[in-house]
Structure 1
C-alpha cells in the first residue's frame, strides 16, 4: 500500500516537472505571463485606492486594510491555481476525449487532472500577493504574535481548500452535463470579487451565503477580524480560527461529489 502511494506521488510530481519544463521552452511568454498577472492585480489595487481616495473608507475599512483583504484572498488563490485551476476546463477534457485517456493511466483521475498543466501564472498571483501583504503589514504597523501567525497560515491553507473545493465542485457538473466552465464565470469569479470588500457592506442574505453555504468569508474576511483587530464588525474574531477546518470539510464534500460524478461518467466521445 505504501509503495503504491509513493509511486502515485512520484508520477504526479514527474508530470508537474514535465509541464514546467515544457513551458520554460518559451521563456519570454513565461515571464510575460507572470508580469501580466502582476500588472492586472496592481490595476485592481489602484482602482481600490482611487475609490478610497474619494470616500476615505468603506464601513470603517481604510485602503491598506482593504489591500490586506485583497492580498490574503489572492495568496490562497495563487496556491489554488497551482493545484486545482485546471478543473475549470474539465468539460473540455470530456468533450475532446482527453478524459477517456486519463482514465486508463496508472494514476487516479483526480490527481491526473491536477497535474495536467502547471499554471505558471500562479507565480504572478503569488508575487503580487506577497508584495501587497508586506506593504499592508508595514503600513498598518501590525505586530502579530504567534497565535496570529497561526491564524494567518490557517487562512491561507483553508482558503486554498475552499477555493479549490469550489473549482472541484463546479467541474463535477461536467460529469452529468458535459458543461461546467460557464458556471466558473457565473459563480466563482463574482463570488471571489465580493471578498475584496468587507462582508458587512452586503445584505444579510449575502453574508449568510458567504459564511454558511459558499464559505468564502473564511478565506480572508473572518480571519482578518483578529489579524487586523477589528472588534466591531458584528462577527466574533474567533470565527477566523476555523478557516482551515471549514476549508478541509468543504473540500472533502466537494471531492466526494466529484467522485460520485466520476462513477456516473459516460464518455462523450470525440
Structure 2
C-alpha cells in the first residue's frame, strides 16, 4: 500500500512538471496571461476606490480595509485556480468518453485529474494580491504578532480548501448529469463575488448561506475581522481562527461527494 502511494505521488509530481513545462513553451502567452489576471483584479480595486471616493466607507470599512478583504480572497483563489480550476470542465471529459483513461493508470483518478493542468497563469492573481495586501498592511499601520500571521496563513489555506472544495463538488454533478460547468458559473462565481465586500451589507439570509452552508465567510471576512481588529461584525471575530478547520472539513465533504460520483460513474463511450 505504501509503495503504491509513493509511486502515485511520484507520478503526480512528474505530471505537474510536464504541465508546467508545456505552458512555458509559449512564454509570451504565459507572461500576458499573468499580466492579464493582475490587471483584471487591479481594475476591480480601482472600482472600489471610485466607490469609496463617493461614499467614504461601506459599513465602517475604509478603502484600504476593503482592499485587504478583497486581496485576501484573491490570494486563496489564486492557489485554488492553480490546483482545481480545471475541475469545472470534468463534464467535457465524461461526455467525450475520455475520462476513462484516468481510471486505468497507476494513480488515483482524483489526483490524476488534478495533475492534468497546473495553471501557472494564476500567478497573476498572486502578483496582485501580494502587492495589494502589502500596500494595505502599510497604509493601515498594521503590526501583526506571530499568531496573527498564522491566522493569515490559515485563512489562505482554508480559503483555498473552501473554494476548491466547491469546485470539486460542482464537478461531481457531471457523474450524474453529464453537465456541470454551467452550474459552476451559476453558483461559484456569484458566491465568490459576494466576498469582495463586507458580509454585513447583505441580507440576513445571504449571511447565513455563505457562513453555514457555503462557508465563504471563512475565506476572508471572518479572518479579516480578526486581522484588522474590527470588533463590530455580524459574527464574533474569533471565528476567524477556524478558517483552516472549516476549510478542511468542507473540502473533505466535497471530496467524498466526488468519490461517490466516481463510484457511480458509467462510461459514456467515445
TM-score by length of 2: 0.98
Give the equivalent residue in structure 2 for 1:240.
Answer: 240
Q: Which residue of structure 2 lines up, in the alignment, with residue 120 of structure 1?
A: 120
Contact 1:151 1:241 in 2 (8 A): yes
Matches of residues 35-184 of structure 1 in structure 2 within 5 Å? 35-184=35-184
Unaligned regions of 5+ residues in structure 2, if any?
A: none
Secondary structure of 1:164's aligned partner: helix
Between the aligned partners of 2:181 and 2:267, the Cα distance in structure 1 is 18
Deviation string, structure 1 residues 183-230 (Cα, Å, up to 9, x no partner): 110000011000000000000110000100000000000011110010
User: Which residue of 2 is the match for residue 268 of structure 1?
Assistant: 268
Which deviations, in whole Å up to 9, do the C-alpha atoms of 1:151-179 show, x marking residues without a partner? 11110110010001000000000000000
Distance 1:105 1:184 in 2: 28
Matching residue of 2:227: 227
CA apart distance, 1:267: 1.1
| Distance in 2 of aligned mates of 1:149 and 1:107 | 36
Moved over 2 A (4+): none
Using the TM superposition, name which of 239-248 and 76-85 deviates more: 76-85
SS across alignment from 2:58: coil
Question: Within 2, Cα distance between the matches of 1:79 and 1:234?
Answer: 28
Distance (whole Å) between structure 2 residues aligned to residue 120 and residue 242 of structure 1: 29
Native 8 Å contact 2:83 2:117 kept in 1: no
1:214 aligns with 2:214: yes
Contact 1:88–1:171 (8 Å) recurs in 2: yes
Coordinate RMSD, CA, aligned: 0.8
Partner Cα distance (2:96, 2:145) in 1? 51
What is the deviation of 1:126? 1.0
- 1:120 Cα deviation (Å)? 2.0
Q: After TM superposition, give the deviation of residue 3 of structure 1 in Å.
A: 2.0
Aligned equivalents of 1:167, 1:113: Cα separation in 2: 13
TM-score normalised by L of structure 1: 0.98
Q: What is the distance in 2 between the residues matched to 1:15 and 1:259?
A: 22
Describe the SS at the equivalent of 2:25. Answer: coil
Q: 1:194 corresponds to which residue?
A: 194
Q: Greater CA deviation, 239-248 or 100-109?
A: 100-109
Number of matched residues? 270
> Is 1:251 matched with 2:251?
yes
Q: Tell me the secondary structure at the aligned position of residue 179 of structure 1.
A: coil
